[in-house]
């Protein structure tokens, strides 16, 4: 009887360990999948902007740190006035990560090259900064 109880406990322990490993593995695979889907979405947005966007200039009107850091680079909220030849100037507020080494290029009053889609002036996803 003691041997049956020991065998049942061992089987139960193996089952619990197996289920735990399965859950951890599933979570890991799911996390990797989400990462690649998110990266693919960002790449698609950039490709669409390159296909439909027009080059222009933007003046930095405001710069606000959101307090978030990704790889030690700040995530900022940046207010821009965008000017594209042949279109009325328009303003947009965009939240984005900016590498620390590029922060001096996006100070209030700075002029930055942009690639933007003036057909959607209210969409911050249709604005890309061209920093060197």
Residue 76's nearest CA partner among 54, 108, 109 is 108
Statement: the pTM of the whole predicted model exceeds 0.75: no
One digit per residue, pLDDT tens: the chain, 132 residues? Answer: 555 555 667 777 887 888 888 888 888 888 888 877 776 776 777 777 778 888 999 999 999 999 999 889 999 999 999 999 989 999 999 999 999 999 988 999 999 999 998 888 788 888 888 887
Q: Is 123 in the same domain as 60?
A: yes
Tally of domains in the chain? 2
* Distance, CA of 29 to CA of 34 (rounded, Å): 9
Burial of 118 (0-12, 13-18, 19+ CB in 10 A): buried
Q: Is 80 in the same domain as 38?
A: no
- Which range marks the domain in which residue 114 is found? 54-130
Q: Is 38 in the same domain as 96?
A: no
Q: Is 41 in the same domain as 60?
A: no
Residue 56's nearest CA partner among 127, 106, 110 is 127
């Amino acid at each position: 009887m003691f041997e049956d109880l020991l065998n049942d406990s061992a089987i139960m322990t193996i089952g619990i360990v197996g289920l735990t490993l399965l859950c951890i593995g599933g979570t890991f695979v799911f996390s990797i999948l989400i990462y690649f889907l998110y990266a693919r979405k960002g790449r698609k947005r950039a490709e669409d902007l390159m296909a439909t966007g027009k080059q222009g200039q933007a003046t930095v009107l405001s710069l606000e740190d959101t307090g978030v850091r990704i790889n030690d680079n700040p995530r900022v909220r940046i207010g821009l006035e965008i000017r594209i030849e042949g279109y009325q100037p328009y303003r947009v507020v965009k939240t984005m990560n900016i590498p620390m080494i590029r922060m001096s290029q996006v100070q209030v009053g700075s002029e930055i090259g942009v690639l933007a889609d003036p057909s959607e002036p209210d969409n911050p996803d249709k604005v890309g900064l061209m920093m060197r």
